[in-house]
Amino acid sequence: MADLGNPQNTIDVLRRHQFTFQKKFGQNFLIDPRVLEKIIRAAQVGRDDFVLEIGPGIGTMTQYLAEAAREVAAVEIDDKLIPILEETLKGYDNVTIIHGDILKVDVEKLVQEKNQGRPVKVVANLPYYITTPIIMGLFESHVPLDSITIMVQKEVADRMRVGPGTKDYGALSLAVQYYARPEIVANVPPNCFIPRPAVGSAVIRLTRHEAPPVQVQDEQLMFRLIRGAFNQRRKTLVNALRNAPGLGLSREEAEAALDRLGLPLNIRGEALTLEQFAGLANLLSAKSEGNTGG
C-alpha cells in the first residue's frame, strides 16, 4: 500500500482517479511526512485512542492516524474522494469512512458507539472558511472531547491564542480559550501542500479544559455580549452593547454594569479579559433575574 506521505504517491493517486481540486471545499493536501508525524505527536495519539478525523482528503493523515490509534473515523464531505479513500485505506481494518458534512454528523452518537462515551481526540486539516463553525460546533455541543489538533491558516491559529489589546484578539480567541488551552505546535509553509496555498499554515492543539477557567451563570449571554462587543470593535463597549441585536441593553444599564466592575466608561471590548466578560454576564443575568423576580 502506497505511503501517501511521499508526494509522488499522492500525485499518482490523484492522476489515476483524475481528481480535480474543489475550490469550494478549500482542498490542500499535506505531503510532508515530518509535518504528519508532528501532528500525530502533538495530538498525543496512542493505541487506546479513538480519533475523529475531519476532512481526510485522500487519506494521507488517516494512514498515519490508523498506525498510531486503536480506531479512526474519517468524515469526508466530497463524494469524489470516497472511492479514493476506499482504495488508499483498504489495508486498515481500524478505519471507518463516513461520507457526510461534519456539521450534520451526530458526533455524540459516534462517540457513544465507538468509544463508549469516553473523550475522543479530533484531528483535522481544515479549510479557512469552515474552521470556526466546526470548532465551535464541537465545543458548544459538549461532546466528550480530549483535544482538537488542527491545521489552519497561521493567522487563524494566532487569533485563537492571543490575549486582550492585540489586533487579532476577538470573539474566536475568547470562545476557544473558554473551552480549551490553545498551543501552536508547528508552523507549516505552503510548500508542504498540493496545491500550494497562498498563505502559511499552523498546527494548533486545543486541549479541552476539565472545567471552564471562569464561572459564568449564563454561557449564552456571555457569548452574546462578546459578539456584540466585537461586531463593532471600533466603538466603545457601551455603544457596541447598546446597538447589539438581541441584548436589549440601554446606555444607562451598560454604563452601570461597567461602573460596578470598576471599568472606565470609554473602554472598548478588545481590552476586556475573559474573566471581565464573565463578570459582566453574571452582573447582567443577576439583574434580569432580579427584575423578573420582582
Same structural domain for residues 172 and 272?
no
Q: What is the mean pLDDT of residues 137-165?
A: 93
pLDDT at residue 28 in the model: 83
Whether residue 61 is found in the same domain as residue 191: yes
| Domain assignment present for 214 | no
The mean pLDDT of 278-282, rounded to a whole number, is: 96
% of the chain residues with pLDDT over 70: 96
* Rounded mean pLDDT, 226-243: 92
In a domain, 141, yes or no: yes
Grid cell, residue 192, equals 508542504
Domain that holds residue 149: 7-208
Domain annotation covers residue 193:
yes
In this prediction the pTM is: 0.90
Domain end among 150, 173, 208? 208
Residue the block writes with cell 466603545: 236
Domain annotation covers residue 64: yes
Nearest to 39 by CA among 8, 9, 69, 7: 69
pLDDT band for position 62 (cuts 50, 70, 90): very high
Q: Which residue has the higher pLDDT, 9 or 74?
A: 74
Same domain, 126 and 242: no
CATH number, residue 259: 1.10.8.100
Give yes or no for a contact between 76 and 97, defined as CB atoms under 8 angstroms apart.
yes
Q: 33 with 6: CB under 8 angstroms? A: yes
Concatenating the DSSP letter of every residue in 58-113 gives: TTHHHHHHHHHSSEEEEEE--GGGHHHHHHHTTT-TTEEEEES-TTTS-HHHHHHH
Judged against a pLDDT cut of 60, whether residue 294 lies above it is answered with: no
> Do 122 and 148 meet the contact criterion of CB atoms below 8 Å apart?
yes
Instruction: Determine the distance from the C-alpha atom of residue 164 to the mean position of all C-alpha atoms in its chain, rounded to a whole number.
Output: 20
Structurally, the chain folds into a number of domains equal to: 2
- What CATH number is given to the structural domain containing 202? 3.40.50.150
Q: Classify residue 2: in a domain, yes or no.
A: no
Averaged pLDDT for residues 15-25 = 76
**Same-domain pairing of 40 and 165:** yes
DSSP class per residue in 157-178: HHHHH--TTSTT-SHHHHHHHH
Q: Are residues 152 and 272 in the same domain?
A: no
What secondary structure letter does DSSP report for 268?
B
Domain contains 131: yes
Q: Which residues pair with 147 in a beta bridge?
A: 121, 207
pLDDT digits (tens, 9 = 90+) for 117-129: 999 999 998 877 7
Domain end residue (candidates: 181, 208, 235): 208
- 139 and 280 housed in the same domain: no
Q: Helix or strand or coil: residue 201?
A: strand
Contacts of 208 by beta carbon, 8 Å cutoff, 6+ apart: 119, 139, 145, 146, 147, 148, 179, 180
pLDDT of residue 290: 58
Same domain, 124 and 229: no
Q: Check whether residue 124 and residue 249 sit in a common domain.
A: no
Q: What number is the average pLDDT over the span 74-94?
A: 94
Q: Does the residue 51 lie in any domain?
A: yes
- The reply to whether 194 and 232 lie within a common domain is no
The mean predicted confidence, pLDDT, of the chain is 91
Same domain, 120 and 59: yes
Q: Where are the beta strands (DSSP E) in the chain?
A: 29-30, 50-54, 71-76, 95-99, 120-125, 145-153, 180-188, 193-194, 201-208
For the record, the C-alpha cell of 232 comes out as 463593532
Q: Choose the final residue of a domain: 208, 240, 262.
A: 208
Same domain, yes or no, for 139 and 202? Answer: yes
Identify whether residues 201 and 152 lie together within a single domain: yes
In this structure, what C-alpha cell is assigned to residue 32? Answer: 510532508
